[in-house]
Amino acid sequence: MTEITNERSAFFQNLRRNTLVQGIAIGILALILQIPVLFIRDIVWDRKDTRQEAIEEITSKWGKQQEVFGPFLVVPYRERRTVQTAEGQPSKIEVYEEHATFLPRDLRIDGSLETEVRYRGIFEAPVYRSHLSFEGSFDRPDFSGWSISPADILWDRAELIMEVADPRAIKDAVPVDWAGEEIEFEPGAGLRHTGRSGIHVPLGQRLDSETFSFSYAFDLNGSLQLSFAPLGSNTKVNLRGDWADPSFQGNWLPGSRQVSEEGFTSSWNIPYLGRGYPQRWRGVDHDEAIAASQFGVDLLSPVDVRRQTERSLKYQMLFLGLTFLTVWLFEILTGMRLHLIQYGLIGSALCLFYLLELSLGEHLGFAAAYVIAAAAVIMLVAAYAWAAMGSAQSGMVVGGVVMGLYGFLYVLLMLEEYSLLVGSVGLFLILAAIMYVTRHVDWDAPVGGATAKK
């Protein structure tokens, strides 16, 4: 019985010293450590949701993302339809009220943004005060080709309409100068029944000329984004602001732009041929096409720590693998021994980096949080490797490898557009270094035995 026990003990000892078996065990451990990584991912997503709720609370009180579409000139008219009745009975004519929409011939928008950052707890959102001025001209509405009797056109109920995503945030609206006459805005989108909010001006009997010039302005609070639609036959937009990290979005990028630490200036000049909807229509609305044609600017946060942590987590398996590989090669090359539990402790320290990065970043900013979290993990892993292996050299090498990995990761996170190129070159160099270090290793020898081929 004792002999069988000794044989089993010897078998398991040899199994533990087998290089291939130990490598497989370390790989399985790295997979097991994905469980806490999944919990950390859940925390990151939860914090992103919490941040989004805080942003929505800020913007709901200050002003939401603003989409400013207009002006639309809407003229209602009566449409007569012949309705068939029961067989043998004469048909009858029913009268419905419809509306025709006309867009400006020329439209010029000038806007300036004064930005600031508002907080809800530890979460922040960029908001702005904007001053927007509009000017341009309309041709007299043309109903030709629509088979509408002039007597059925309700000129006295025509309206000039501006659609604004969050009209609660409109401040200090200046009356519309319509062909030299000032008219006050009224709340609501008037005859534009598209589900969008806005303001409008009843024009009454003010459409008796061939062309009409207009101008008006208002101050508008908003957050995160400001966008317009190119409603003119020729639309010109000049937009400037003091936000240093703008992102120009939409169907058209600005024809010219300048971005500096002091802010940005941008300008668009858009003809109507490429926008996908006409200058006039009736009945069927083009609301979806108008929304799809919008353009403008987003106010980006320079560095979102939750997004950067999420990106960092994509490389966590690489970190675990290369750190475990470094320690394992020390075992093979020097004969020092580490238990699988000790590998697990080193891996746990590496996993905690992402939690430290996230929690510190919400208070200190991403760069400071990254440096502090990386330094803490590097010192912990290096000190533990030193103590576990009984060698200062091993601790310094393991710590140096982890430091190099964190430096490599920081470069990848900062060079977002070139991360694939830098990552590919970095992985090639890492593989070359591993191949060079292990070029003389005898992989058939047991861990701690003779490892270098003569």
- Could you tell me if 116 and 204 lie in one domain? yes
| Distance of alpha carbon 67 from alpha carbon 54, whole angstroms | 21
- Could you tell me if 332 and 265 lie in one domain? no
- Could you tell me if 176 and 209 lie in one domain? yes
Q: Which of 426, 435, 383, 384 is nearest to 404 (CA)?
A: 426
Report yes or no on 445 lying in a domain. no
Task: Determine the pLDDT at residue 15.
Answer: 46
- Could you tell me if 289 and 323 lie in one domain? no
Domain boundary among 280, 302, 324: 302
Residue 454: pLDDT above 50? no
- Could you tell me if 201 and 254 lie in one domain? yes
Report yes or no on 126 lying in a domain. yes
Residue 450: pLDDT above 50? no
Q: What is the pLDDT of residues 202-227, one digit of tens each?
A: 998 888 888 889 999 999 999 999 99
326 pLDDT band (50/70/90 cuts)? confident
- Could you tell me if 152 and 275 lie in one domain? yes
Q: What is the pLDDT of residues 26-51, one digit of tens each?
A: 889 989 999 999 999 999 999 888 88
- What total of structural domains would you count in the chain? 2
Task: Determine the pLDDT at residue 35.
Answer: 92
- Could you tell me if 99 and 204 lie in one domain? yes
Residue 71: pLDDT above 90? yes
pTM of the model: 0.77
pLDDT averaged over every residue in the chain: 85
| Distance of alpha carbon 273 from alpha carbon 149, whole angstroms | 30
- Could you tell me if 265 and 310 lie in one domain? no
Q: Which of 68, 50, 69 is nearest to 58 (CA)?
A: 50
Report yes or no on 359 lying in a domain. yes
| Distance of alpha carbon 258 from alpha carbon 240, whole angstroms | 9
Report yes or no on 4 lying in a domain. no
| Distance of alpha carbon 408 from alpha carbon 414, whole angstroms | 10
Q: What is the pLDDT of residues 108-118, one digit of tens each?
A: 999 999 999 99
Report yes or no on 162 lying in a domain. yes
Q: 19-23, 214-218, 432-436, 450-454: which range is least confident on average?
A: 450-454
- Could you tell me if 170 and 310 lie in one domain? no
- Could you tell me if 311 and 260 lie in one domain? no
Q: What is the pLDDT of residues 374-427, one digit of tens each?
A: 999 999 999 998 888 888 888 888 888 889 989 988 888 888 778 788 888 888
- Could you tell me if 223 and 190 lie in one domain? yes
Residue range of the domain that includes 158: 63-302
- Could you tell me if 289 and 272 lie in one domain? yes
Q: What is the pLDDT of residues 155-198, one digit of tens each?
A: 989 999 999 999 999 988 888 999 888 999 989 887 776 778 89
